[in-house]
């Protein structure tokens, strides 16, 4: 199979055409895997994948992980997490809002996943035909590389406290929004169970596969950098966040049905948009790669 890998103007978000992910020989798979490691976000266009086929493709990278709220996993294929605004018998079939803030997936766990593969079955459109529900990506590896040396030195060994309580208060599914929405209430309840969980991550994360240094910052959820006064901590986090999401460093993915977008959960952060609503339909299937057990030398 001859595939075409096209670089992007942004430091991530390479596009692959000519691939059939149902049917990849070892050499072609290795080329996709290499692009994924190197570029952090890879868009594979024009796929036609059943749940089994998506699971089989994603499993070639290693073991999969199930999304924590089983309610949103596909009944007959729990390895697939449904990201969707569709209703069945009045109930949401998936999670509509999978993160409208700059984040990496499952930052509230000690061993966040290696990456996610999101496959678009239905993409909402505006009346003029433009796609809605774009996803934005930014490279945390590029962000680290392009920091001034004095900032690199300063943050080298710093640790940050990630707080679910802060997330719920500022960017999450608040009680207020949950009032009229049964399924948001489920999310809020699940969050309440772990709301006091506070996770410490190093601000500079060594990528366990590539060995690259990546910034580990999630928008609006870091309560403090350990050992720094609060105001200094807040301004450093704000500086790093803005540095990661500089417009020239951001790739905006405009979805087409049949896209499979693979993101590296360490070298990239991403953000969803909520600019669509029924009857505009969005249906995506996500497979999630578990954290690797081995660490890069």
Q: Report the length, in residues, of the chain.
A: 297
Task: Please give the residue ranges that form the binding site for ligand OGA (CB under 6 A).
Answer: 83, 98-99, 105, 116, 118, 133, 135, 270, 272, 286
Work out whether 105 is an interface residue with Mn ion (CB under 5 A): yes
Partners of residue 81 on adjacent β-strands? 73, 286
CA distance 99 to 36: 22
- Secondary structure in 3-state letters for 103-125: ECCCCCCCCCCCEEEEEEEECCE
CA 252/CA 250 separation, integer angstroms = 6
Q: Which stretch binds Mn ion (CB under 5 A): 28-36, 44-52, 102-110, 162-170?
A: 102-110
Residue 154: its H or E element: helix 149-155
CB closer to ligand OGA, 57 vs 147: 57
Quote the least distance from Cβ 137 to Mn ion, whole Å: 10
What dihedral do alpha carbons 186, 187, 193, 196 form, nearest 10°?
-150
Q: Kindly state the tokens that stand for 292.
A: 């690797």
Cβ atoms of 290 and 62 within 8 Å: the answer is yes
Q: Which is nearer to ligand OGA, 110 or 273 (CB)?
A: 273
CB of 270 to ligand OGA, least distance (A): 5
**Distances from the Cα of 29 to the Cα of 22, 60, 209, 278, angstroms:** 11, 9, 17, 37
Which of residues 68 and 228 has its CB atom nearest to ligand OGA in the complex? Answer: 68
- CB of 64 vs Mn ion, minimal distance in Å: 16
> Which one among 99, 113, 133, 172 touches Mn ion, defined by CB under 5 A?
99
Cβ-based nearer residue to ligand OGA, 54 or 135: 135
What is the closest distance, in whole angstroms, from the C-beta atom of residue 133 to ligand OGA in the complex?
6
Write down the least CB distance from residue 103 to Mn ion, Å: 6
Smallest gap, in angstroms, from Cβ of residue 94 to ligand OGA? 10
The strand pairing partners of 83, in sequence order, are 95, 284
Contact track, Mn ion, 157-196, x by CB under 5 A: ----------------------------------------
Is the CB of 205 or the CB of 270 nearer to ligand OGA? 270
Cis peptide before 279 (omega within 30 of 0): yes
Nearer to ligand OGA, 220 or 234 (CB): 220
Contact between residue 222 and residue 160 where contact means Cβ atoms under 8 Å apart: yes
118 binds, among Mn ion, ligand OGA, none (CB under 5 to 8 A by kind): ligand OGA
**Cα 37 from Cα 83, distance rounded (Å):** 24
Q: Which residues bind Mn ion (CB under 5 A)?
A: 99, 105
């Amino acid at each position: 199979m001859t595939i075409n890998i096209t670089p992007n103007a942004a430091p991530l978000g390479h596009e692959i055409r000519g691939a059939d992910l149902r049917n990849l020989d070892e050499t072609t798979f290795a080329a996709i895997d290499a692009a994924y490691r190197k570029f952090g976000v890879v868009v594979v266009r024009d796929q036609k994948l059943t749940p089994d086929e998506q699971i089989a493709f994603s499993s070639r990278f290693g073991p999969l992980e199930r999304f924590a709220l089983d309610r949103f996993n596909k009944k007959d294929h729990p390895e697939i997490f449904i990201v969707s605004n569709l209703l069945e018998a009045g109930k949401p079939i998936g999670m509509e809002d999978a993160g409208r803030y700059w984040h990496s997936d499952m930052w509230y766990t000690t061993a966040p996943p290696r990456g996610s593969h999101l496959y678009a079955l239905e993409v909402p459109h505006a009346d003029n035909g433009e796609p809605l529900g774009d996803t934005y990506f930014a490279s945390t590896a590029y962000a680290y590389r392009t920091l001034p040396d004095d900032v690199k030195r300063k943050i080298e060994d710093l640790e940050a406290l990630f707080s679910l309580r802060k997330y719920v208060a500022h960017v999450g599914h608040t009680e207020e929004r949950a009032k009229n929405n049964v399924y948001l209430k489920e999310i809020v309840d699940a969050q309440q169970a772990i709301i006091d969980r506070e996770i410490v991550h190093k601000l500079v994360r060594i990528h366990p596969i590539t060995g690259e240094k990546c910034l580990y910052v999630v928008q609006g959820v870091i309560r403090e950098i350990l050992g720094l006064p609060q105001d200094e901590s807040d301004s450093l986090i704000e500086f790093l966040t803005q540095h990661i999401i500089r417009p020239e460093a951001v790739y905006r993915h405009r979805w087409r049905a049949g896209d499979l977008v693979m993101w590296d959960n360490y070298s990239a952060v991403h953000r969803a948009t909520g600019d669509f609503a029924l009857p505009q339909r969005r249906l995506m299937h996500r497979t999630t790669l578990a954290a690797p057990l081995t660490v890069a030398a």
